[in-house]
């Protein structure tokens, strides 16, 4: 099981103080240093979300990490023409297409692929022809999985937000939806990833979901890093996800 480490919140912290003075000699914390620390802890890839409103990661962050870090780079982005152009010049190893609403605190729902195939298919084709494997960040719904396969995406990332935010019967039901979506994705030849709200505390239940090859994890790692440092937080997560049995 691969671990993709999302370091967006390192930029969130930097922007909280230095958004208007990024070139200052004082500016911290460093996104590049965070990427190195994650790599040292065993990250298999680095994930950055360059949002349309640039609220955390900036274009230069993505370019610097791309240039300096010898790990696969996963760029999360909205499905827009402007972001397509940015991704075509950045040439990340992976692009994960996500929905974006300015007012949301984080990515709140999966992308509606079903019903938007005609707009999304050319974007996916352009990115993959440029060398970036594309993943669709979707809710665990059969029609979204089928639509992702139909437009030629190589991968899906199943949104585990509802799984993470519920308990008891609701979580059981959501786990069942994830199991079904992962199974269908695998049958359709898609690489299946998962992300959002994953923590060491919910890994045991997530382990019921088959065919996952990568987890994308951010918030809990940056939170833990406040107390242990990022390298150690990533090491802990890497050893925790070794329990995945599929
Ligand atoms: N995957 C995607 C597509 C996301 O948008 C996010 C959140 O930025 C994550 C994974 C990571 O979620 P979390 O920060 O809750 O671990």
**How many angstroms separate the alpha carbon of residue 138 from the centre of ligand 1?**
12
| pLDDT at position 104 | 67
Nearest ligand 1 atom, CA 76: 3
pLDDT of 9 above 90 = yes
Q: 219: Cβ below 6 Å to ligand 1? A: yes
Hey, which CATH number is domain 2-241, 1.20.1050.10, 3.20.20.70, 3.40.50.620, 3.40.50.300? 3.20.20.70
| pLDDT at position 89 | 98
Q: What percent of the chain shows pLDDT beyond 90?
A: 94
**How many angstroms separate the alpha carbon of residue 189 from the centre of ligand 1?**
23
DSSP letter, residue 7: -
- 101 band by pLDDT with thresholds 50, 70 and 90: confident
Which whole number is the average pLDDT over 189-218? 97
Nearest ligand 1 atom, CA 164: 15
**How many angstroms separate the alpha carbon of residue 25 from the centre of ligand 1?**
30
Nearest ligand 1 atom, CA 219: 14
Nearest ligand 1 atom, CA 196: 12
What does the block give as tokens for 81?
């023409």
| pLDDT at position 191 | 98
Stated as kind and residue range, the H or E segment containing 162 is helix 161-165
CA dihedral of residues 194, 155, 170, 108 (deg, nearest 10)? 80
Q: What is the pLDDT of residues 207-223, one digit of tens each?
A: 999 999 999 999 999 99
**73-77/45-49 β-pairing:** parallel
Rounded Cα distance between 124 and 113, Å, is 11
pTM attached to this predicted model: 0.95
| pLDDT at position 100 | 87
Probe target for ligand 1 pocket from 43, 74, 76, with the most ligand atoms within 8 Å of CB: 76
Probe target for ligand 1 pocket from 219, 222, 241, with the most ligand atoms within 8 Å of CB: 219
- From residue 45, alpha-carbon distances to 40, 91, 154, 180 in Å are 11, 15, 17, 26
Kindly list the domain boundaries of the chain, sorted by start residue. Answer: 2-241
Reply yes or no on whether 56 is catalytic. Answer: no
- 109 band by pLDDT with thresholds 50, 70 and 90: confident
Reply yes or no on whether 219 is catalytic. Answer: no
Q: What is the pLDDT of residues 16-51, one digit of tens each?
A: 999 999 999 999 999 999 999 999 999 999 999 999
Q: Whose CA is nearest to atom 9 of ligand 1?
A: 196
Q: What percent of the chain shows pLDDT beyond 70?
A: 97
Reply yes or no on whether 104 is catalytic. Answer: no
| pLDDT at position 206 | 96
Strand partners, 6: 47
Catalytic residue, chosen from 141, 191, 196, 214, is 196
Catalytic residue, chosen from 9, 49, 56, 186, is 49
Q: What rounded mean pLDDT belongs to the chain? A: 96
Q: What is the pLDDT of residues 43-92, one digit of tens each?
A: 999 999 999 999 999 999 999 999 999 999 999 999 999 999 999 999 99
Rounded Cα distance between 49 and 59, Å, is 10
- 106 band by pLDDT with thresholds 50, 70 and 90: low
pLDDT of 107 above 70 = no
């Amino acid at each position: 099981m691969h671990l993709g480490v999302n370091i967006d919140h390192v930029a969130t912290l930097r922007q909280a103080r230095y958004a208007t003075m990024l070139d200052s000699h004082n500016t911290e914390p460093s996104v590049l240093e965070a990427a190195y620390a994650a790599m040292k802890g065993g990250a298999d890839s680095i994930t950055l979300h360059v949002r349309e409103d640039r609220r955390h990661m900036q274009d230069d962050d993505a370019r610097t990490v791309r240039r300096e870090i010898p790990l696969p780079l996963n760029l999360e982005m909205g499905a827009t023409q402007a972001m397509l152009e940015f991704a075509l010049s950045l040439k990340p190893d992976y692009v994960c297409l996500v929905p974006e609403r300015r007012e949301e605190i984080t990515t709140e729902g999966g992308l509606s692929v079903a019903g938007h195939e005609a707009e999304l298919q050319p974007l996916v084709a352009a990115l993959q022809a440029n060398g970036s494997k594309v993943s669709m960040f979707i809710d665990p719904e059969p029609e979204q999985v089928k639509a992702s396969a139909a437009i030629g995406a190589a991968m899906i990332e199943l949104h585990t937000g509802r799984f993470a935010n519920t308990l008891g019967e609701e979580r059981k039901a959501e786990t069942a939806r994830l199991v079904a979506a992962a199974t269908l994705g695998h049958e359709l030849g898609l690489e299946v990833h998962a992300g959002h709200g994953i923590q060491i505390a919910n890994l045991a239940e997530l382990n019921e979901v088959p065919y996952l090859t990568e987890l994308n994890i951010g918030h809990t790692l940056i939170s833990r890093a406040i107390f242990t440092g990022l390298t150690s937080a990533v090491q802990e997560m890497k050893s925790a996800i070794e329990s995945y049995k599929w």
